[in-house]
Amino acid sequence: MQRRDVLKSLAVVLGGAVSHSCSQAVEVPAAQRVAVAGVMTDEQRAAVYRCADLIIPVTDTPGAIDAGVDEFLDYVISVWYQEDEREVFFAGLAQMLAEAQGAYGQHFIALKESEQVALLQAAQGRELTSNPLDFGESGGGFFKKIKELTVTGYYTSKVGATIERKYVPMPGFYDGDYKFSEVGRLWAK
Amino acid sequence: MGKIDTIDTTQEVDAIVIGSGITGGWAAKELSEKGLKVLMLERGKPLEHGTGYVGEHQPPWERNNKGMRPRELYKDEYEIQSTSYAFDETTRHFWNNDAQNPYDFNEQDPFHWVRADVVGGRSLLWARQSYRWSDLDFEANKKEGIGIDWPIRYKDLAPWYSYVEKFIGVSGQAMGLDHLPDGEFQKPMEMNVVERHVASAIAENFSDRVMTIGRTATLTEPLPGRAACHYCGPCHRGCSTGSYFSSLSSTLPAAKATGNFDLRANALVESLEYDADTKRVSAVRVIDTVTGERSRYSAKLIFLCASTVGSTQILLNSTDADSGRSFANTSDALGRYMMDHTYRAGARGIIPGFEEYYPYGNRPNGIYIPRFRNVDGDDGLGFTRGYGYQGSAGRLSWDTMSKITPGFGADFKAGLRKPGPWYMNLGGFGEILPYAHNTVALHKSKKDRFGIPQVTFHFEFGENEKRHREDVVEQAVAMLKAAGATRIDPFNAEMVGGAAIHEMGTARMGHDPKEAVLNAHNQAHAASNLFVTDGSAMASASCVNPSLTYMALTARAVDYAVTQLQAGAI
Ligand SMILES: Cc1cc2nc3c(=O)[nH]c(=O)nc-3n(C[C@H](O)[C@H](O)[C@H](O)COP(=O)(O)OP(=O)(O)OC[C@H]3O[C@@H](n4cnc5c(N)ncnc54)[C@H](O)[C@@H]3O)c2cc1C
Ligand code: SF4
């Protein structure tokens, strides 16, 4: 599926910002429309987006949401994920949202940044294993999943590849002794 | 292309080439340049050089599904092909759809038949590593009494290696090793700073081995119609500048330029018809994969270049009505002695230091450590023959570093901006011996959508393969240690036949028609006008990547065939 189709399908179900005709709506498989609409409430979505920006915040370069990671998350969580992965993801999210209510009596998205960070750190703490590469059968719990998705979405986005990293589509030559100081950031490939 | 090139079945052609991959491209070029009218039959879809490479130079943010693999589609329709590192959404259009064109895959006795389904075959997808054989390889069967003796020696093939290398363009470093002969090299690519460090550690600590830059059919200097590499990598998405060798960039344009060449895509060869009186192939039976229409072609020469499994399937399916046996199988060798290389054993490790370096450009090549086991006689290690290593050094990037770096937020992000430590990876490719029980056969009942019997495999690894793999792992660890590596991670993954994509040997060459399908010139013992020049011809496997040898055998076979044809002997 092309990225623009993802956008289109999301716009269809969310009644969102992108205008579209009915004929385009027909192109989106029915199962997928149901999936996107049924998977996340607005509040869940807002919390997930907020976590993405806490993981990759705006610094001297744009953060996750400015790079379009929100669309990436929608796609993966609603369409690409299989049911078992989705269950793990939402169970962990629910726990974090419940903790927000319990500790601060408010929804996660209404909290101060430092409070949100503390809650996300707590989610991380629940999943720390001795082996950081151990993502488990289903790719870890909520924290590892949101972190991995945010990172993947960010570094493969246009912002992540061309602003955060450096993208040279046709390098022209190979230099195996090139200095890191000449580039100062990661290469995008 | 789009539409199928239509060819009048009554049209007189001198030669038919079956398959447009690495060997078929060579057969077509050579035959047409020698003035023969050539018709190429290719089961795959049409594909144009350049415009067909839709994944080439595609930036990461434009990938389908943002680069997320459509897992269900891959499982349902590309179960085998998607096991290859080169399979993803930038290359999927080149590959076989396993649901549409299945074979009898058995998880208990697995064999991976990795194949393309487009004009150009696997020449588009290959990793281009190109090494010559030597007499260490050609003489091994005879010396050890394994399999049958090769009917040729290095001196028979050496001029053809040169001929092929000059045309395809192979970059590499001359080393003067007897058992890995130098070729006609373009200037070598560079090892990076850490690879040079590892190479000198190996040279200092192991007198029997040396590490060099890979020999690759990728241009470092331009050739007519083809530009030097611009280091965009990875190559398997296609290369519109023709900087790596493929049929589309190189041999097919040469064939077309003669005016003697026609190509029919979507043309699946079902079988060959045999005339037992004249001992010749009298016709080639073809099915149009789009219309289902059947047709027949005949020609003075038939070059069967449909890949090891493809060609063997066609031969097995060319049966005599009375005996039910393939005309080509005078020896019982047809479909037996399947080989591949052992693969996915070795080690990787972190090389401390060198933090100021970060290579520029995507070099489409790695390093090579030529075979050093049993080179001057038996080393007494409990296995015969040997293996070579391929690998490379690089720096870990965000994908790995993000997983091993705890936390999140601004510091986490800033930390990922710097590449991670250097790693060095060494993976062995080892020689598999020819065993009669390793087979490809026609399934008794399963047919494809055109009614052609599906192939089925049986593939076992022997003790020799298991033992050399243990040595592959041990020696990789030892070399990495010598280079000061830390966190060394040995690997020895489960072996699956076909996974190294160097399947070969199921219609082997040999002097005796009772033992071999083909003679010393890749000519079928049973049919004077039939030549089989792909990997099925191999009587042993060596441990080097095979395609350069297939090309040299093909060019040599064409030369012989045309000489014989002109002399009236065919
Ligand atoms: C990812 C990858 C990496 C590789 N790396 C290397 C490497 O570094 N070095 C190396 O030496 N080798 C490498 N190989 C192997 C190399 O690609 C093969 O050895 C080589 O392509 C074999 O050439 P061929 O002509 O026999 O077969 P192919 O190139 O596969 O061509 C055979 C053609 O015949 C067609 N065909 C099959 N059956 C029929 C039929 N019944 N009728 C009509 N047409 C038919 C096929 O569609 C195909 O186009 C690699 C392969 C892959 C996939
Ligand atoms: S790296 Fe070189 S050979 Fe490979 S696709 Fe790019 S230009 Fe072509």
Please report, for chain A, how many H helices and E strands are present, in that order: 10, 2
Domains along chain B with CATH numbers: 12-46+85-170+179-566 (3.50.50.60)
Distance CA A141, CA A124 (A): 9
Q: Rounded to whole angstroms, what are the CA distances from B282 to A6, B276, B322, B531? A: 54, 10, 18, 14
Q: In this structure, is residue A22 part of a structural domain?
A: yes
Is the C-beta atom of B306 inside 6 A of ligand 1? Answer: yes
In a domain, A181, yes or no: no
Domains held by chain A: number: 1
Burial of B72 (0-12, 13-18, 19+ CB in 10 A): exposed
Of the candidates B62, B231, B413, the beta carbon closest to that of A172 is on B231
Residue A160 falls inside a structural domain: yes
- State yes or no: pLDDT of A23 exceeds 80: no
Q: Is A176 among the domain residues?
A: no
B104 C-alpha to center of ligand 2: Å?
35
Test the B interface: residue of A126, A159, A186 with most B CBs within 10 Å: A186
- At A39, the pLDDT band (50, 70, 90 cuts) reads confident
Does A28 score more than 70 pLDDT? no
Nearest partner of B3 among B240, B288, B284, B205, judged by Cα: B288
Q: The whole model's pTM is what?
A: 0.94
Q: What is the pLDDT of residue B4?
A: 39
Nearby residues of B445 by Cβ (< 8 Å), 6 or more positions away: none
pLDDT per residue over A80-122, tens digit each? 999 999 999 999 999 999 999 999 999 999 999 999 999 999 9
B116 Cβ inside 6 Å of ligand 1: yes
Mean pLDDT by 10 residues, chain B (570 residues): 42 90 99 98 98 95 88 97 96 98 96 98 98 98 98 98 98 98 98 98 98 98 98 97 98 98 98 96 96 96 98 97 91 98 97 98 98 97 98 97 95 98 98 98 98 98 98 98 97 96 98 98 98 98 98 99 97
What burial letters (b/e) apply to B177-203, b meaning 16+ CB within 10 Å?
bebbbebbbbebbbbbbbbbbbbebbe
Most A CBs within 10 Å, among B413, B416, B487, to test the A interface = B413
Please state the separation of Cα B242 from the chain's center in Å: 18
Mean pLDDT of chain A: 82
C-alpha to C-alpha distances, B511 to A20, B515, B549, nearest whole angstrom? 71, 8, 19
**Residue B416 near residue B285, CB atoms below 8 Å:** no
Nearest one of B168, B104, B94 to B132, comparing CA atoms:
B168
A12 to chain B nearest CA, in Å? 18
For residue A16, pLDDT beyond 50: no
A131 touches chain B (CB under 8 A): no
Asked whether residue A41 is domain-assigned, the answer is yes
Residue nearest atom 4 of ligand 2, based on CA coordinates: B235
Q: Ligand 1, residues B131, B245, B340, B501: which to mutate, most atoms within 8 A of Cβ? A: B501
pLDDT score recorded for residue A19: 30
A77 occurs within a structural domain? yes
Residue A157: inside a domain: yes
Q: What is the pLDDT of residue A127?
A: 87
Domain assignment present for residue A30? The answer is yes
Tally: H helices and E strands in chain B: 12, 18
Q: Is B269 in the pocket of ligand 1 (CB under 6 A)?
A: yes
User: Which residue on chain B is closest to A175 by alpha carbon?
Assistant: B360
Domain boundaries, position A114: 3-169
ipTM summary value = 0.93
Question: Looking at the partner chain, which of A6, A132, A169 has a beta carbon nearest the beta carbon of B403?
Answer: A132
